[in-house]
Amino acid sequence: MAAAPAPETPVLEDDVVAHYDNAADVAPRYEMPAIVRPRRNTARLLAIASAIIGLLLLISIGAVLAVGSDQLRKIVGITPVAEPLLLQSVRNPERRTTASGNALLAVTGRIVNPTTATQTVRDIRAELRDHKGRTVYSWTITRPVTELAAGATAQFDSAAVDVPGDAATLQLSFIGPTGN
């Protein structure tokens, strides 16, 4: 036979109220903090900043290579330092025909040092340009001396063979960076 169920003991209402009204039995209330700050990933921020700086450096190098440092200085508005040495053409370029029938262009000029210090002389670039200013022919004239004393001058002569006939002007300039 089955056992008789145990009689239940009655629970009084006062016991229940007393049990839940006890402060120790009540679960603590959760309150959100006033300011919630997100977690910052410092390594990620540094990686992003490094990538941006690297990209800016690559763009700058590309601009210098594409445009050229002298032209970039003009665009930005930085005035280049005046060259201490001057190039002067002694006479107009002379066109001649050689005995073999080749066209020859002779250039004569001088380098002047107007400063009070000895200056290093660089090679000279001769460019023939058409009426629109485009370079149609160029060559290098070897420097006549390596250094030029204060107030001194040096003569140079050069000739180019088979230059184009549509050249209108001759432009002379030093090759390489300025400096002593």
Does 63 share its domain with 108?
no
Note the pTM of the prediction, 2 decimals: 0.51
Give the count of alpha carbons within 13 A of 63, CB side only. 11
Does residue 120 sit within a domain?
Answer: yes
Domain total for the chain?
Answer: 2
CB 109 within 8 A of CB 156: yes
Does residue 35 sit within a domain?
Answer: no
Buried b (16+ CB within 10 A) or exposed e, 80-93: eeeebbebeeeeeb
CB 104 within 8 A of CB 97: yes
CB 174 within 8 A of CB 83: yes
Does 60 share its domain with 129?
no
Neighbours of 135 (CB within 10 A): 12
Does 100 share its domain with 65?
no
Q: Over the stretch 64-123, which tens digit does the pLDDT of each residue have? A: 877 777 677 777 777 655 558 888 877 788 888 778 877 788 889 999 998 888 888 889
Does residue 167 sit within a domain?
Answer: yes
CA distances from 42 to 46, 48, 56, 166, 170 (A): 6, 10, 21, 64, 60
Does 57 share its domain with 99?
no
CATH number at residue 147: 2.60.40.10
Does 102 share its domain with 71?
no
Does 102 share its domain with 167?
yes
Q: Over the stretch 142-166, which tens digit does the pLDDT of each residue have? A: 999 999 898 899 999 988 887 777 7
Is residue 50 scored above 90 in pLDDT? yes
Buried b (16+ CB within 10 A) or exposed e, 143-161: beeeebeeeeebebebbbe
**Domain residues for 67?**
42-76
